[in-house]
Structure 1
Amino acid sequence: MLAETLEAVQSSPSRRTAYVRFVLVALAAITLFKTFWFARWGGWTDRELADFDAFHIVAQHVWRGDLVQVYHFESLLKMQMEAAGGATGFMPWTYPPQYDLLVAPFAFLPVGVGYLLFTAGTLALYLVTLRAMAGRNFAQVLVILFPALAITIGCGQNGFLTGALIGIVCLNVERRQWLAGLALGAMVIKPHLAIAVGLYLLATRRWIVLGTAAAVVLASSLLCTLLFGWQIWTAWLGAIRESAVFLEQGFYPLFRMISAYAALYKAGLPASVAVWGQAAVAGVALLAVLLGAARNVSPQFALGVSVMVSVMISPYAYDYDLPMLGIGLALILPDLTKLTRPRERSAIYSLILLAGAYGLLQSGRLAVQFGQKVDPDQHFAPAIGGFALMALLVLLVRLLLRGARPAPAPSRTVPATE
């Protein structure tokens, strides 16, 4: 059974060390390879842009004083085509102005060097945070999360940063609430990924955390207004409205998305039905947060579930957001063996692995079959990651409804007396 195989990773200190070293070496190798790729060394001079390229372009326009233009897709597309030397992928910009400030320093570095510093730095922060949370389960979590970690490195996205920030919130929510509040406030860079944890903190009355987070959001918003002008907020909101239209029309690479919306839309349902499906899943996810706060489960388990469902709320969620699942998994693992049978744990591990690996494997398949600049919309690829997370949500809700009662022991046949 998968649960027994993965949990065997923890069987001895030497085995745990061996697995951790193997995963870390593999992640370092992928990072080095992608550094050459982003730097356009060797045979990668003619390549399509990836996510960190978009970060680099936006960083340059922060200093040029025309940042508002990156929030208009037609203008941004021209910038991307100039950087790519031709055709480019579909990458609208919908990040809040605070994220523009965060990436601004990378404008002074070549894109390859910037990618290396950003990815290696955020990955290191994430791994240190995950290690502090997982303890002796660190190796097991790393193995389960490996596909998600690999694809986040591959595109140079910020999943390590958001995962680390939420991890810092969880580590400090009890004793250093001001630090947890600073980290939660920093999640303004991707606010939709902080909704579930914010609701849990509200339900458990962590006022210092919430107050500090609100102060960070307000102060950073004021700073952005002073630096970029009030029009930056109008441009940002306009970009969000524009992206909603793009999402409805299926312009995004939906097979890489992990939302219920993407799963239902790619399954052939109308966009309106997929929206209602996403709303229903988001409602169940938030209900799971409240159940965790109210049921007789450990605070660590309840907080872990809140972190895990954070990636299930927004229709705009990608596989590179999945490192956050590792933070939640690290929190629930100590209680998971008490609350579940091996079969249930196998299902949970399998769904996390599937959600992380599917987009990676499909991207590789499409590239091999149709070339590096393939348009996924021209070749059908379902959004399986969304279905995997919906199934994971059902399992988590079942565990919360079960409460703190241990899972029933497997039935045993009583031998007949002779």
Structure 2
Amino acid sequence: MFHEKLATPFVTRAFIVAVVAVILTWAARLSGLLPRLDLTDFNVLHIAGQMVWRGDIADAYHLPNLLRVMRELTGQEALLPWAYPPPFNLVMALFAPLPIGLAFLLFIGATLIAFLLVLRRISGLLFPAVILALFPSLMLTIACGQNGFLTGTLIGLTCLGLLQQRGSAGLPLGLMVIKPHLAVGLAAGALVMRRWTCLAAAVGTTLLASGIATLVLGPTIWSAFLRGANEASANLAAGHYPLYRMISVYAWLRSSGVPATLALLAQSAVAVTAVGFVLFAVRKRLPQRQIIGIAVMAGLLMSPYAYDYDLPIYGIGFALLLPDLLGRARRHEQALLFGLGWGSSAYGFIIQTLNGGVAGWHPPSPISLSLAGPMLIALLALIWIFLRREPARAIAGAPSPQTLASPPVQTA
């Protein structure tokens, strides 16, 4: 099979070594031990954490104020806005007292290890194949210093809990309040599967996390957050963000010259359709693993404001679906799945590199077209088509829902 030719133990070990090397290199550059980087996303995460301790975190939600603090703390500025819900401020406040290089090392290292452990639990012996499919996303998330491993871990833990039919699956689902748009598909899946205890736990966790943020940061943090969300929406509609780094249909259409209103309507239609596929999967009584995997994938199609560093979540859905896909897709179709996954993950980074110039070459004008969204749509469409086939063969390697399930409770 295709994946067996590439996802060898040697290749997997080489990938892991490369990931560790990049983490250590980026930490050293942030620390000044190697030539410094321009401001990265992690700089903004670290600055926001510092602003919590300074008591001016509300200013982070207004870009001119955030740029002023950037200049004050780093001597640089970059168009890196802050639009995270208040509970995430508390997460970054934990790392803010540390020097930025050490904070990066601990944040990225800890969340990556947690993500890989959850991914290994879901994928079983197919873990090397999933790592192969996800490698560009892993490297990109590290290079950005973003929270894709954290959200991927929370989504993965929710999936494991749903497979085991545990109400506590709602705890990590509720913690997705830090990036709620990425959890909409999974929440819809839990709803149509009637996992009421899970949903109740998710609501309770969300309220608790929001309450703690309100208590620590003050109630005015929510009005600042709402103003920041409106500001971010206006900047997105105006095209001030790098659309080529986004993975949404909205970004694709806007970068193609489609007016913002029409692009948003198209994005809404895609989101409704994605949720509809989750509902259809439940009505057709597809295997539980497939339903949950489809719900995870649907979450990536919800928001116009979704970036390539959010794609570790794709790895969770892919791990859930891969055993069934390998039993239904031909070798060249498997290669196409892996290729589209790589393309949607790496496209934005490649364009960013080209726009910055490569080996003395600069594009005549900056490349702004966003193509990750259509590649992701094509990938998910193919996954759906392949899942509708009758399996040609059984694929061993991934734990079944029965294997993942908790042992039955013994009663006297």
Normalised to the residue count of structure 1, the TM-score between the two structures is 0.89
Q: Measure, in 1, the Cα distance between the counterparts of 2:246 and 2:343.
A: 13
SS at match of 1:340: coil
Q: Deviations over 1:10-37 (max 9, x none)?
A: 6xxxx3x222211111100111111122
Conserved in 1, the CA contact under 8 Å of 2:163 and 2:289?
Answer: no
Find the aligned partners of 2:16 and 2:262 in 1 and give their Cα distance. Answer: 42
For 1:309 and 1:142, the matched residues in 2 are separated by 21
Kept after mapping to 2: 8 A contact 1:52/1:156: yes
Gaps of 5+ in 1: 409-418
Q: Deviations over 1:241-270 (max 9, x none)?
A: 110000001111111111111111112222
1:55 corresponds to 2:40: no
Aligned to 1:415: none
Give matches, 1:49-88, under 5 Å: 49-86=39-76, 88=77
Change (3 A) 1:377 1:281: farther
Q: Which consecutive segments of 4 or more residues in structure 1 shift more than 4 A?
A: none
Q: 1:378 to 1:75 in 2, by over 3 A?
A: farther
Answering whether residue 353 of structure 2 is matched by residue 361 of structure 1, we say: no
2:281 is matched with: 292
Which of 153, 162, 167 aligns to 2:156? It is 167
CA distance in 2, matches of 1:377, 1:109: 42
Does the Cα contact within 8 Å between 1:281 and 1:390 map onto a contact in 2? no
Partner of 1:146: 135
Q: Residue 278 of structure 1 aligns to a residue in which SS? A: helix
Greater mean alpha carbon deviation, residues 237-246 or residues 272-281:
272-281
RMSD of Structure 2 on Structure 1 (CA): 2.1
Judge conservation of contact 1:178–1:208 (CA < 8 Å) in 2. Answer: yes
SS at match of 2:390: coil
CA contact (8 A) 2:122 2:320 kept: yes
CA distance in structure 1 between the partners assigned to 2:170 and 2:365 by the alignment = 45
The 10-residue stretch of structure 1 (189-198 or 389-398) with the greater mean CA deviation from structure 2: 389-398
Corresponding residue pairs, total: 392
- Closer/same/farther in 2, CA of residues 174 and 337 from structure 1, 3 Å limit: closer
Q: How does 1:335-374 map to 2 (within 5 A)?
A: 335-369=324-358
CA distance, structure 2, for counterparts of residue 174 and residue 24 of structure 1: 28
CA-to-aligned-CA distance 1:345-370 (integer Å, 9 cap, x gap): 33322211101111222222222349
Q: What letter corresponds to residue 83 of structure 1 in structure 2?
A: L
> What is the aligned partner in structure 1 of residue 396 from structure 2?
none
Distance change >3 Å, CA 84–CA 370, structure 1 → 2: farther
**1:8 corresponding residue in structure 2:** 5
- TM superposition shift of 1:377: 12
1:405 aligns with 2:390: yes
User: What is the aligned counterpart of 2:199 among 206, 210, 222?
Assistant: 210
Q: Unaligned regions of 5+ residues in structure 2, if any?
A: 394-412
Percent sequence identity over aligned pairs? 40
Q: Secondary structure at the match of 1:106?
A: coil
1:185 is aligned, of 159, 165, 174, to 174
2:401 alignment partner in structure 1:
none
1:399, distance to aligned residue in structure 2 (A): 4.2
1:393 aligns with 2:380: yes
Match of 2:319 among 313, 330, 344: 330
For the Cα contact (< 8 Å) 1:9–1:139, is it kept in 2? no
Is residue 2:6 matched to residue 1:26? no
**Deviation at residue 388 of structure 1 after TM alignment:** 0.5
Question: In structure 2, how many angstroms separate the alpha carbons of the residues matched to 1:354 and 1:30?
Answer: 20
Measure the CA separation in 1 of the matches of 2:293 and 2:165.
Answer: 18
Question: How far, CA to CA, are the matches of 1:138 and 1:103 in structure 2?
Answer: 30
**Cα shift readout 1:203-251 (whole Å, capped 9, x = no counterpart):** 0011111111111111111111222222111111111111000000111
1:309 to partner: Cα distance: 2.2
TM-score, normalising length: structure 2: 0.90
What residue identity is the alignment partner of 1:36? A
Q: 2:87 aligns with which of 64, 81, 98?
A: 98
1:115 equivalenced with 2:115 (yes/no):
no
1:360-415 deviation digits (Å, cap 9, x = unpaired): 222222223499xx9x9961231111111121232234346x3x63369xxxxxxx
* Distance in 2, Cα, partners of 1:174 & 1:301: 10
- Secondary structure of the 2:258 match is coil
SS at match of 1:184: helix
> Structure 2: how far apart are the matches of 1:379 and 1:301?
40
